[in-house]
């Protein structure tokens, strides 16, 4: 819907001055991106340039020089000679009455009189450059002259030869011609030249809204006739098409033999500019009349004669650079466009409907892509339809089709922004909510996964098998006592020195932080995201936390030495357990937290407490041991923790799988198992012997064996009796 509205709104303002100005600017850019193209070999240009003015002396030039130019071109074999100069005034270097007097005086001289005087008077009487020019035009037989129309001022009747220059044949057309500008008068060559010429055509320029001359009027209505442009007359003559065979289809174009020159409703044909000034072969007029232009450069060509020198306004903008293009070269471009059918058509039917359909399709695909891709990818991909449309418009332009660029890109851009805002405000709202809720619990990459796939999260609680970790600082009360005069330092010690690095270790192994309770950390794995190796990741986190204490205590010792106080040494106990729990947002309607509840959680907490009694750093439950069998762990007891009647095996976690595979650990594990076997069979002597062998290991948990030696000695003196099952009932948490 947003896309459709954007398309409708932009189409509504397609012809607004701003939009049209941007569109025409984009057209100029397309010309430059396409680059220069070599014109055909049919046209050459001769210009009265600054060098010609310097050599020939004045402007306007004598018509006799133009007659000489025609004679030179005829000798060179030029196929057509076309003037881009309006010959609307006679030259008349000698007034007619003076020529008449000279003619009378020459006739009155007696026979045998002064021969030199007679010759001078006759030359004076016959000095008529206009007549010489007309004679050269008539003798050549293929000279074409321009005329121009005025659209303002008082209407004026044109000579009959103007009407004779109009279109004689018409084709049927279904389009409706619209001529916003109606000529009211014509500036034409004098009859002496016009009637001698092979044909006439207008040279009026069709401007776009931005003032650039992008078109040629294929036809203009004038006093009941439709007059062709000079390039149309010239192209027809070059192709050998009789003027009575050239047909005008109003509102559509002109048929010139096999060529259909397309026009819009105003009979404007777009000019396909080939390049900047100098793209067509150009020669100086003075070189032509002095015979310095090779015949081969002119033979068989259409030769356009015009003017371009400093102070002459006959130069116009073009898409290529800031250098103005001479009007004569502009005419050469129009002729080349027609002869080689290099037409550019602006969005002909059914392209307007196709453009709308394509824009809607691209916008819809873009909206769908933005909706389903991750946000960062969506932002990167969203400009793709703009690039595709720009590329398509350029390809179409290279094939002669001017598709709109600004309007579709405005519609696509509006739709893109709307889709991104919708994505941000609506689609990503849930993801931001998830991030807000879990950024304190999970590692950033896990939060991103949840934000992208919130369906994985069942808020309100779900039953999952998880592994829970409890960690507590040993002797924290004594440590707090040391900082009673500086509680800020204690806070810094716990938050920055302990909780922050331990949290990083847990999150780095896909753990979820449940809560902090003073110096205690509760975390779990396999929620809210699935983690098939949750027990292994929990064991890895526990071992890493114990290992990190070496660095933490070293930093604390360095800090204490710098401050001149006794060092603080941290030791921790960690309990791990695996089991089914309810995980979700728990609490009241006013305040809640993401947490885990269940018997397995309680047992994990109890196991952490037992690390003090068994003098080991990490104790894991039986379910965790089964879920992570590769780790180096020793069974240390059958225990019924406080608050539970059922007993289960608990294990001291000593290290990773590499340690478990080492010969040293395997020897210790075998001796340890033998010791426990003797202990549970009440073979106290065998148990002590096995215990002594266990103590020989470099990795033996010495304080654990001290505890067992104390127990065995006690049971030697106080037998537990035949009903004893080896279970230790814990009286403390």
pLDDT tens digit sequence for 285-312: 999 999 999 999 999 999 999 999 988 8
Residue 445 has pLDDT above 60, yes or no: no
Q: Which residue has the higher pLDDT, 297 or 440?
A: 297
Rounded Cα–Cα distance for residues 147 and 273 (Å): 23
Do the beta carbons of residue 503 and residue 495 sit within 8 Å?
A: no
Query: For 568-587, what is each residue's pLDDT tens digit?
Result: 889 999 999 999 999 887 76
pLDDT given for residue 428 in this prediction? 63
Residue 424 has pLDDT above 90, yes or no: no
pLDDT given for residue 92 in this prediction? 67
Pairing of strands 315-316, 325-326: antiparallel
Q: At CA 174, angle to CA 173 and CA 180, rounded to 5? A: 85
Average pLDDT, the chain: 87
Sign of CA dihedral 212, 213, 215, 221: positive
pLDDT above 90 covers a percentage of the chain that reads 58
The total of other beta-carbon atoms located within 10 Å of residue 32's CB is: 11
Rounded Cα–Cα distance for residues 175 and 252 (Å): 6
pLDDT given for residue 434 in this prediction? 59
Lowest mean pLDDT among 343-347, 368-372, 410-414, 497-501: 368-372
Query: For 461-505, what is each residue's pLDDT tens digit?
Result: 789 999 999 999 998 888 888 888 888 888 888 888 899 999 999
pLDDT given for residue 647 in this prediction? 84
Lowest mean pLDDT among 412-416, 506-510, 660-664: 412-416
Do the beta carbons of residue 30 and residue 344 sit within 8 Å?
A: no
Residue 125 has pLDDT above 50, yes or no: no
Work out the widest C-alpha separation in the chain, in whole angstroms: 178
Query: For 65-113, what is each residue's pLDDT tens digit?
Result: 999 999 999 999 999 999 999 999 988 665 666 656 655 655 556 665 5
**C-alpha dihedral (317, 323, 324, 328), degrees to nearest 10:** -120
- Identify the band that residue 52 occupies on the pLDDT scale cut at 50, 70 and 90: very high
The total of other beta-carbon atoms located within 10 Å of residue 658's CB is: 10
The total of other beta-carbon atoms located within 10 Å of residue 321's CB is: 12
Query: For 511-558, what is each residue's pLDDT tens digit?
Result: 988 888 888 999 999 988 889 999 999 999 999 999 999 999 998 888
The mean pLDDT of 408-436, rounded to a whole number, is 72
Q: Under CATH, what is the fold of the domain 450-653?
A: Alpha-Beta Plaits (3.30.70)
Rounded Cα–Cα distance for residues 726 and 679 (Å): 8
Q: Which residue has the higher pLDDT, 41 or 481?
A: 41
Lowest mean pLDDT among 345-349, 367-371, 429-433: 429-433
Q: Which residues pair with 471 in a beta bridge?
A: 521, 574
Q: Which residue has the higher pLDDT, 11 or 566?
A: 566
- Identify the band that residue 564 occupies on the pLDDT scale cut at 50, 70 and 90: confident
pLDDT above 70 covers a percentage of the chain that reads 86
The mean pLDDT of 321-327, rounded to a whole number, is 89
What stretches of 591-683 show up as alpha helix (H) in DSSP? Answer: 599-614, 622-627, 657-660, 663-680
The mean pLDDT of 109-136, rounded to a whole number, is 67
Do the beta carbons of residue 256 and residue 243 sit within 8 Å?
A: no
């Amino acid at each position: 819907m947003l896309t459709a509205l954007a398309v409708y709104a932009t189409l509504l303002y397609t012809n607004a001055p701003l939009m049209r100005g941007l569109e025409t600017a984009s057209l100029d850019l397309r010309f430059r991106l396409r680059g220069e193209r070599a014109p055909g070999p049919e046209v050459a240009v001769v210009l009265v340039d600054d060098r010609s003015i310097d050599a020939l002396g004045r402007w306007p030039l004598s018509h006799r020089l133009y007659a000489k130019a025609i004679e030179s071109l005829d000798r060179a074999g030029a196929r057509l000679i076309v003037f881009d100069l309006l010959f609307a005034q006679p030259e008349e270097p000698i007034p007619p009455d003076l020529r008449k007097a000279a003619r009378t005086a020459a006739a009155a001289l007696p026979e045998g009189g002064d021969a030199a005087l007679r010759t001078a008077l006759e030359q004076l009487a016959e000095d008529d450059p206009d007549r010489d020019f007309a004679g050269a035009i008539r003798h050549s037989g293929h000279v074409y002259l321009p005329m121009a129309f005025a659209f303002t001022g008082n209407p004026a009747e044109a000579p009959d030869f103007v009407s004779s220059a109009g279109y004689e044949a018409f084709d049927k057309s279904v389009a409706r011609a619209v001529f916003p500008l109606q000529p009211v008068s014509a500036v034409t060559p004098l009859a002496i030249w016009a009637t001698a010429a092979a044909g006439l055509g207008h040279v009026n320029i069709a401007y776009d809204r931005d003032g650039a001359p992008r078109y040629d009027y294929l036809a203009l209505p004038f006093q009941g006739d439709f007059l062709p442009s000079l390039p149309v007359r010239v192209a027809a003559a070059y192709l050998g098409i009789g003027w009575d065979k050239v047909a005008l289809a109003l509102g559509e174009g002109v048929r010139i033999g096999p060529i259909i020159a397309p026009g819009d409703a105003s009979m404007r044909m777009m000019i396909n500019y080939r390049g900047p000034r100098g793209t067509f072969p150009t020669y100086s007029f003075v070189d032509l009349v002095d015979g310095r232009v090779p015949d081969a450069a002119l033979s068989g060509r259409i030769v356009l004669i015009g003017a371009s020198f400093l102070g002459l306004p006959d130069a116009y903008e073009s898409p290529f650079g800031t250098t103005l293009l001479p009007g004569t070269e502009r005419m050469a471009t129009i002729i080349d466009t027609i002869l080689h059918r290099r037409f550019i058509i602006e969005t002909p039917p059914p392209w307007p409907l196709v453009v709308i359909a394509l824009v809607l399709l691209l916008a819809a695909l873009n909206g769908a892509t933005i909706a389903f891709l991750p946000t960062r990818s969506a932002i990167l991909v969203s400009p793709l339809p703009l690039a595709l449309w720009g590329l398509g418009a350029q390809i179409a332009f290279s094939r002669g089709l001017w598709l709109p660029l600004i309007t579709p890109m405005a519609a696509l851009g509006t739709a893109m922004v709307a889709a991104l805002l919708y994505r941000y405000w609506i689609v990503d709202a849930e993801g931001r909510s998830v991030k807000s809720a879990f950024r304190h619990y999970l590692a950033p990459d896990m939060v991103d996964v949840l934000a992208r796939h919130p369906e994985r999260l069942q808020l309100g609680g779900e039953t999952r098998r998880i592994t829970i970790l409890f960690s507590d600082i040993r002797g924290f009360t004594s440590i707090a006592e040391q900082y009673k005069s500086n509680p800020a330092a204690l806070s810094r010690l716990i938050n920055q020195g302990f909780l922050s690095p331990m949290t990083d270790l847990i999150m780095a192994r896909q753990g979820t932080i449940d809560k902090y309770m003073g110096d205690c950390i509760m975390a779990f794995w396999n929620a809210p995201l699935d983690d098939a190796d949750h027990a292994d990741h929990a064991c890895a986190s526990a071992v890493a936390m114990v290992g990190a204490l070496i660095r933490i205590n070293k930093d604390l010792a360095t800090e204490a030495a710098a401050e001149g106080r006794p060092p603080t040494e941290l030791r921790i106990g960690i309990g791990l357990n695996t089991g089914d729990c309810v995980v979700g947002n728990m609490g009241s309607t006013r305040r809640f937290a993401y947490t885990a509840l269940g018997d397995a959680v309680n047992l994990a907490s109890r196991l952490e407490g037992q690390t003090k009694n068994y003098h080991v750093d990490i104790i894991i439950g039986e379910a965790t041991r089964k879920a992570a069998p590769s780790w180096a762990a020793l069974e240390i007891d059958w225990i019924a923790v406080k608050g539970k009647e059922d007993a289960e095996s608990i294990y001291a976690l000593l290290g990773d799988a590499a340690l478990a595979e080492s010969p040293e650990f395997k020897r210790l594990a075998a001796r340890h198992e033998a010791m426990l076997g003797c202990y549970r069979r009440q073979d106290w002597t065998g148990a002590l012997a096995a215990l002594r062998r266990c103590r020989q290991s470099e990795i033996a948990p010495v304080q654990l064996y001290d505890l067992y030696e104390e127990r065995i000695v006690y049971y030697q003196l106080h037998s537990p009796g035949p009903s004893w099952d080896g279970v230790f009932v814990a009286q403390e948490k």
